Chain A
Amino acid sequence: MHIEDGILPPRAWGFWYGVTILFIIPGIREIKRRVRENLAYKPFLSMTGVAVFVISAMHLPVPVTGSCSHPCGTPLAAIIVGPFATAVISSIVLFFQAIFLGHGGITTIGANDFSMGIVGGISGYLCWKLLRRFDSPLWLAGGIAGFVGDVMTYLTSAFELALSLHGHIPLVRQWMIFFAGYGPTQLPLAIAEAVFTAAVLQVMYNRRPDLLPGITGKRSGKIEKIQMKGA
């Protein structure tokens, strides 16, 4: 989903920058609010941001299709630090990946953030919330959130490309042509992302459920209850 510079015309990448900013502004507000509510939020945010950086640059080979791709990490991030905050950390991650690792481009940060940080994060978060509302086990809700967020990221990337480049070909057909480039390799990786998301959430919850207010559906809302080591 790392769309490179030069593919999207200026009108398209400008549009995706504009859309992304609409999510980044509430994301900054969400970060400020949650930092006040939860003493553990800052270390969570830095740990999650760096984890998204690594996970979304981790190219894994899929022998069935003979190509490599990477998971996203943003569904997990959205569950832990919030969906709008994920849009913020994802934009920072994509900036550093573009300038240091040769992944993606500068003009396409808006489009790439929209697919990975916003749609990937929010779709995973909504799945998580919905399943937890129906008392789904934590690992199952986390796993499905990881899978859906991953697939939605690549569907959105393919849509962004198709929207700008479909020409005389019907939009949906061009969208599916681009998704066919991602899909066969991405589906096994979406399953891997599901396992990873479920495992990390379960380990975090087993170790310190008190650090994840709201994750079990029971928000304490009291700062003094959230103790960190050495605090």
Chain B
Amino acid sequence: MRAIENGAAETTSWFDPFTRWMLIIMFATLAAIFVSAKFMDMHSMLGGGTDDTVNAMASQAAHVKSHPFVDLPGDAQVGAFSIANFFAGMIVGHNWKKLFEREKG
């Protein structure tokens, strides 16, 4: 960001180093997830969570039916995770900036 005399910004860069690194890490992680998911799909693997697997094993051992406190059907789970992670990211970013942002100059 280049500053002019009255303190207002004249130009803003598209990708500052922090954003660039965050995008690189994000896309690398997403690519790894994509490749893993594709592999699992090709080999007819279910890709379920180990928590669910072990909860099912434990339910069988105890002869009881287990259940999460709330069950989110279909896309409601995607929605809940998106909302939670959006605001979590805002809070982490806000505090990260407060604590770790480097002073200009």
Given that A5-B68, A62-B36, A67-B50 are contacting pairs, would A228 and B98 also be in contact in the complex, using a CB cutoff of 8 Å? yes
Q: Cβ of B101 < 8 Å from any Cβ of A? A: yes
Is there contact, CB below 8 Å, between B62 and A165? yes
Q: Return the CB mask of B66-91 against A: 1 if under 8 Å, else 0.
A: 11111110000100110011001101
Cβ–Cβ < 8 Å partners of A5 in chain B: 66-69
- In the complex, which residue of chain B has the Cβ closest to the Cβ of A231? B98
- In the bound complex, CA of A43 to CA of B91 (Å): 9
The count of residues in chain B whose C-beta lies closer than 8 Å to any C-beta of chain A is: 49
Query: Is the pair B45, A100 in contact by a Cβ cutoff of 8 Å?
Result: no
List chain A residues, Cβ under 8 A from B39.
63
Measured in the bound complex, the distance between the Cα atoms of B38 and A61 in whole Å is 10
A204 contacts partner chain B, Cβ-Cβ < 8 Å: yes
Q: Which residues of A contact B66 (CB under 8 A)?
A: 4-7
Cβ–Cβ contact A50 & B92, under 8 A: yes
Tell me the nearest residue of chain B to A185, going by C-beta.
B50
CA separation between A5 and B66, bound complex, in Å?
6
A124: shortest Cβ distance to chain B, in Å? 20
Q: Contacting chain B: which of A23-31, A83-91, A133-141, A175-183?
A: A175-183
In the assembly, what is the distance between CA of A1 and CA of B54, in Å?
Answer: 9
Residues in B lying within 8 Å of A, measured CB to CB: 33, 35-37, 39-40, 43, 45-51, 53-55, 57-59, 61-62, 64-72, 77, 80-81, 84-85, 88-89, 91-92, 95-103
Residues of A within 8 A of B (CB): 1-7, 9, 40, 43-44, 46-47, 50-51, 53-54, 57, 59-63, 66-70, 96, 98-106, 157-158, 161, 164-165, 167, 174, 177-178, 181-182, 185-186, 204, 207-208, 211, 228-230
